[in-house]
Amino acid sequence: MSNLQGEDRVLLEVKDLRVSFFTHAGEVKAVDGISYTLRTNEVMGIVGESGSGKSVEAYAIMGLLQNPGKVIGGSVRFDGEDLLSYNQNQMADFRGSRAAMIFQNPMTCMNPVYTVGDQLMEALRSHRKDISRAEARKRAIEMLEQVGINNADKRVDQYPHEFSGGMRQRAMIAMALICNPELLIADEPTTALDVTIQEQILELMKTLKGRNNMSIIFITHNLGVVAEICDRVSVMYAGHIVEQGTVNDIFYNPQHPYTKGLLASMPRMDMIGHERLIPIEGTPVDLLDPPKGCSFGPRCKNCMKICLNNPPPAVTVGENGHSCACWLQVQEMLKQKEAEQHG
Amino acid sequence: MVFYTLKRIAAAFLTLVLIATITFFLMNAIPGSPFMTDKSTPEQIARANAKYGLDQPLAVQWWRYMTNYLRGDMGVSLKMQEGTDVTTILFHQGKFQLSIRVGLWALLVAVLLGIPLGCIAAYNRGRAIDSILRVLTTFGVAVPSFVFATLLLMIFAVELKWLPVLSNSLESPAAYVMPVLSLALYPSCYIAKLTRTSMLDAINQDYIRTARAKGLKTGKIIFKHALRNSLIPVITYLGPLSASIVTGGFVVETTFSIPGLGKYFISSILNRDYPVIMGTTVVLAALIVIMNLVVDIAYKIVDPRITLTSKED
Tens digits of residue pLDDT in B118-174: 999 998 888 999 999 999 999 999 998 889 999 999 999 888 888 887 777 677 788
Give tens-digit pLDDT for A265-314. Answer: 888 777 777 778 888 888 888 888 888 999 999 999 889 999 999 999 99
Q: Which residue from A93, A95, A111 is facing B213, i.e. has the nearest CB?
A: A95
> Could you tell me which of B126, B168, B165 has the C-alpha nearest to residue B149?
B165
Answer yes or no: are the C-beta atoms of B142 and B185 closer than 8 Å: no
Q: How far is A269 from chain B (nearest CA, A)?
A: 36
Q: How far is B23 from chain A (nearest CA, A)?
A: 42
Q: What is the pLDDT of residue B165?
A: 77
pTM of the entire structure?
0.81
Could you give the dihedral angle defined by the CA atoms of residues B77, B81, B82 and B88, in that order, rounded to the nearest 10 degrees?
-50
Average pLDDT estimate for B260-276: 86
Written as one letter, the residue type at A180 is N
The percentage of residues in chain B with a pLDDT greater than 90, rounded to a whole number, is: 31
Answer yes or no: are the C-beta atoms of B313 and B9 closer than 8 Å: no
DSSP code of B91? H
Q: How far is A157 from chain B (nearest CA, A)?
A: 12
For residue A248, what pLDDT band results from cuts at 50, 70 and 90?
A: very high
> Could you tell me which of A292, A289, A293, A291 has the C-alpha nearest to residue A25?
A289
For residue B313, what pLDDT band results from cuts at 50, 70 and 90?
A: very low
Subunit contact B206:A88, Cβ cutoff 8 A: no
Burial class (CB in 10 A: 0-12, 13-18, 19+), B237: middle
Give tens-digit pLDDT for B131-147. Answer: 999 999 999 999 988 89
Rounded Cα–Cα distance for residues A194 and B302 (Å): 32
Q: What is the pLDDT of residue A3?
A: 44
Adjacent-strand bridge partners of A316: A323
For residue B300, what pLDDT band results from cuts at 50, 70 and 90?
A: confident
Subunit contact A103:B303, Cβ cutoff 8 A: no
Give tens-digit pLDDT for A125-163. Answer: 999 989 999 999 999 999 999 999 999 999 999 999 999
A216 has pLDDT over 70: yes
Chain A contact set for B209 (CB, 8 A):
64, 103, 109
> Could you tell me which of A215, A153, A138, A222 has the C-alpha nearest to residue A184?
A215
Q: What is the pLDDT of residue A1?
A: 42
For residue A2, what pLDDT band results from cuts at 50, 70 and 90?
A: very low
Question: 3-state DSSP helix/strand/coil percent for chain A, to nearest 5?
Answer: 40, 25, 40
Answer yes or no: are the C-beta atoms of A201 and A218 closer than 8 Å: no
Give tens-digit pLDDT for A65-89. Answer: 988 899 999 999 999 999 999 999 9
Answer yes or no: are the C-beta atoms of B241 and B281 closer than 8 Å: no
Rounded Cα–Cα distance for residues A64 and A77 (Å): 16
Q: What is the pLDDT of residue A4?
A: 46
Sequence-distant (6+) residues with CB within 8 A of B290 are B12
Average pLDDT estimate for A28-39: 93
Q: What is the pLDDT of residue A21?
A: 94
Query: What does pLDDT average to over chain B?
Result: 86
First to last CA, chain B: 8
